[in-house]
Structure 1
């Protein structure tokens, strides 16, 4: 089966599965360094076929991105066609295993094999599990509520205000607390110098237009939310079928204030800000195995869009 036929059939099938998926998604970050040349893997199984673009990318340990991935990440971008896509994905995974055995450092925890799959396209999930992959990170989507005009529902005792430079220590503490929690589920890696990296990142954000807010519960700062407005979220906009995309970077609530309404108040405020900026949809990343973030975000109107299956180390 020719490559253009696989591309067209895959795009048609995926957009039927989920109307918010673009025909040609781009899930690659701009600030990662590609290692070596991409390799195209193709398979044919009866009347079905598949192609996978195998790439390797790396980030330095002192980069803020290193907190969110292994230092070396091997990815496979899949396209499937034909009446037996499960057989095609199984054959692709087998071929990729051979490729990884030749290029990945064995038993190195700083390597990861990653496959991004449309969350509603569940074909091949069992095969991924059989190859040792787990669904680790999700991109969730929330369409804007264009009919909502009264603003977010208020929570008694909670005041939300723009973050100021004097809030930097509080914001750093909350962000690090969130990253330590998510590290349990493979979403983050706590690096040496994490506090310094987070401090510089948040300091830079506080120096621009307001995109970070603090929640005070009866006068005590116990939560924060960070967003990227549509003009800033271009890096992720190509993974969803929408013209203007807002991104919710992080939401953190101090442990003593959880289940108090602080998180919901912050989420409602972020949604209002993004909608007023013209966002058609909001996106965020979250740890799929987290017993807190997954139910919380889906209660706020989000639903799965992309699932990142990961195996770390890439080759055992």
Structure 2
């Protein structure tokens, strides 16, 4: 194989990933070589497509990311692609340093999104300062989970406009908790952005947002997206079978009620909604290092599909 042959590298990479996880979509088309880095070693090759996403601090969803994310979309081929990846990461580090990215700027991140079942090159990512921080998890409709038993007195109801304060408080608590794990960032604009988002959702006739109450006290919140609002998540899965996707946007339980089954009640309700709407695959993001969400979601029938490897700041 000609290691400079982009097409051959991409084809081998796509074939390997389809064997690892049939839910993965085929890799995207490669741009011209101006947006690509390559490295060769030990008869193997690593190819990375470069991109940069910039997000205003007050934009919807900005609280879940660094404001400047430099991304590397990988294609790996050959018998020892990990070694080639190590060289590619060194080239990328040099490129970032030369690009004017400020050293130590916490609002910058270098991001490599890998299929979770593809462990190739994980050691090289760790050696270059990356950590697996965030996961896209998937739950096929036929998979069922189990979690803590429900607390007696738990009731799940649709949120109303009167619940804006409770919902924002619960979501802010989630933000502060997840900020410990490297992706979420609580900024001065966070509460305003969350409030505007919640008000927009609750202005709808049938908002897909629910409150869990225990004897009348709001202790949990969950929100989902259904098609067409969830269609953006099609990028994560193979579309050959035209699956219908649902996205679980958020779920949080007040600290004093965690581990009591309130979260299980909310998750069961969300999954019932997905089943009623004929959703084939449910998707969500969660912080991998979160000692509560990771075991909870996998007990609910989810499994990792994509893993976001972060180095933050992008240049140290």
Same fold flag (TM > 0.5): yes
Contact 1:230 1:278 in 2 (8 A): no
Secondary structure, counterpart of 2:296 in structure 1? helix
Unaligned runs of 5+ residues in structure 1 are 27-36
Aligned length: 302
Provide the C-alpha distance between the structure 2 equivalents of 1:146 and 1:285, rounded to a whole number of angstroms.
Answer: 18
Aligned to 1:177: 173
Aligned to 2:77: 81
Provide the C-alpha distance between the structure 2 equivalents of 1:181 and 1:237, rounded to a whole number of angstroms.
Answer: 28
Q: Does 1:136 align with 2:139?
A: no
Contact 2:248 2:282 in 1 (8 A): yes
TM-score, normalised with respect to structure 1: 0.91
Secondary structure, counterpart of 2:286 in structure 1? strand
Contact 1:38 1:56 in 2 (8 A): no
Aligned to 2:288: 288
Distance 1:309 1:147, change over 3 A: closer
Aligned to 1:63: 59
Provide the C-alpha distance between the structure 1 equivalents of 2:9 and 2:155, rounded to a whole number of angstroms.
Answer: 53
Deviation at 1:54, TM superposition (A): 1.3
Provide the C-alpha distance between the structure 2 equivalents of 1:142 and 1:181, rounded to a whole number of angstroms.
Answer: 24
Provide the C-alpha distance between the structure 1 equivalents of 2:253 and 2:266, rounded to a whole number of angstroms.
Answer: 9
Unaligned runs of 5+ residues in structure 2 are none
Aligned to 1:5: 8
Aligned to 1:266: 266
Aligned to 1:187: 183
Aligned to 2:158: 162
Provide the C-alpha distance between the structure 1 equivalents of 2:17 and 2:159, rounded to a whole number of angstroms.
Answer: 40
Secondary structure, counterpart of 1:233 in structure 2? helix
Deviation at 1:210, TM superposition (A): 2.4
Secondary structure, counterpart of 1:188 in structure 2? coil
Aligned to 2:47: 51
Residues 156-190 of structure 1, C-alpha deviations (whole Å, 9 max, x = no match): 31111111001111000000000000001112000
Aligned to 1:308: 308
Give structure 1 regions of 4+ aligned residues with deviation exceeding 4 angstroms.
none
Secondary structure, counterpart of 2:117 in structure 1? coil
Q: Does 1:126 align with 2:129?
A: no
Contact 1:163 1:206 in 2 (8 A): yes
Distance 1:163 1:9, change over 3 A: same
Provide the C-alpha distance between the structure 1 equivalents of 2:140 and 2:292, rounded to a whole number of angstroms.
Answer: 22
Provide the C-alpha distance between the structure 1 equivalents of 2:20 and 2:290, rounded to a whole number of angstroms.
Answer: 26
Provide the C-alpha distance between the structure 2 equivalents of 1:77 and 1:120, rounded to a whole number of angstroms.
Answer: 16
Contact 2:35 2:51 in 1 (8 A): yes
